[in-house]
Structure 1
Amino acid sequence: MNRRLVIKQVLIMAGGIALLPACVREEGQSTVSWKNIKLTLDQENFLADVAETLIPETDTPGAKKLNLHLFVLKMLDDCYSSVDQQLFLKGMSQLQDKSYDQFTKSYTKLSKRQQQEVLLQIQHDKSKSPELDAFYKITKQQTINGYMNSKYVMTNLVKWELVPGRYNGYFPVKSA
């Protein structure tokens, strides 16, 4: 038997085995695998829509374009306790149920105005469940945190100066 042919076939088979997991990815799985939380693709898209409602795209990029929903999930996966993670996931499903009860549509199919109404109602509701409250607070806090620390904001919107700043010899000072 020809050794070169055998080596060639073994390498082709090894390459095929290495690529196989990427080809048979389960339908509906999240785009990123997390250590502590389990999400579906629908839940990830839902969170992207919630983040986009919080920071919509105007003349600056919105939350979806900056992938802030992935930042929220990364912070949730790494920095929050398992109790907070479970509250977050339960609150996410409660928000989906709430939007369906209110408008008989899922949150992702609502208009931008209706999505804003749902979130404003949650923000102003004093008797909301602790799960829904945890979901809203974590999502809002981490979306804003991710936006303010994004590459776009740090390079285009914030004018950075070296630590002491510039010297202004004519700055008016009040005498003591």
Structure 2
Amino acid sequence: MNRREAVQHICALLGGSVLGAGAFLSGCNTNPVSSKKVLFSPHDIDFLNEVGETILPATNTPGAKAAKVGEMMNVMVNDCYVERDQVVFQNGIKDLQARANKEFGKDFIDLTSQQKLALLTKLDNETNEAMKTWQSSSPKPYFRLMKELTLLGYFTSEIGCTQARRYVETPGRYEACIPYKKGDKAWA
């Protein structure tokens, strides 16, 4: 092999790695994230915080509202969801508000905690039934998206990691077997 052939082979290798880097970095995603921005109003974010608080209420640890899951949902829907899921999520907010108005004559935010829980429990049961026949080619039900984002937002927040779970900022050594007592928190 002469110098010219060696340079051609090196260029081919480097060119292939540069061209393939885009697919590698995007994770070979065939459904690119939407460039359309969903604008949630402050009322929508308060609404999402209330939904999150109903799913994960404050007990001896702060709830989802304290972890500001509504703000996190706004970011995730805008930055990470494909347009189809963004539309489902936006329509879900409208549907949940309409259900609250139909069943109780008030906005979801104005309902009592028992009314909110009853409405979301009913919706959760409907969603669980829908998920039994769900196909990956169709969008998930909106309440499933809200519930997943609530859990993700809460347990990745500072409150969720440090107060809802056992937290060691700088762990010492690896311990393979740690005794578990019923009622212990999970490790963060």
TM-score by length of 2: 0.62
Residue 173 of structure 1 is matched in structure 2 by none
Residue 82 of structure 1 is matched in structure 2 by 83
Residue 139 of structure 1 is matched in structure 2 by 146
Alpha-carbon distance in structure 1 between the residues aligned to 2:160 and 2:52? 16
Residue 117 of structure 1 is matched in structure 2 by 118
CA deviations 1:42-73 (Å, max 9, x no partner) are 21211111111011111111111111111111
Residue 158 of structure 1 is matched in structure 2 by 166
Deviation at 1:135, TM superposition (A): 2.1
Is the Cα–Cα contact under 8 Å of residues 91 and 133 in structure 1 kept in the other structure? no
Residue 95 of structure 1 is matched in structure 2 by 96
Q: What are structure 2's unaligned runs of at least 5 residues? A: 1-35, 178-188
Alpha-carbon distance in structure 1 between the residues aligned to 2:40 and 2:111? 22
Alpha-carbon distance in structure 1 between the residues aligned to 2:117 and 2:53? 10
> Cα distance 1:39–1:134, how it changes in 2: closer, same or farther (>3 A)?
same
Identity within the alignment, %: 26
Is the Cα–Cα contact under 8 Å of residues 52 and 63 in structure 1 kept in the other structure? yes
Determine helix, strand or coil for the equivalent of 2:141.
helix
Is the Cα–Cα contact under 8 Å of residues 48 and 68 in structure 1 kept in the other structure? yes
Deviation at 1:133, TM superposition (A): 6.0
Alpha-carbon distance in structure 1 between the residues aligned to 2:176 and 2:52? 40
Give aligned pairs, total.
Answer: 133
TM-score by length of 1: 0.66
Residue 148 of structure 1 is matched in structure 2 by 155
Is the Cα–Cα contact under 8 Å of residues 48 and 69 in structure 2 kept in the other structure? no
Query: RMSD of the alignment, in Å?
Result: 2.7
Match of 2:175, as an amino acid?
R
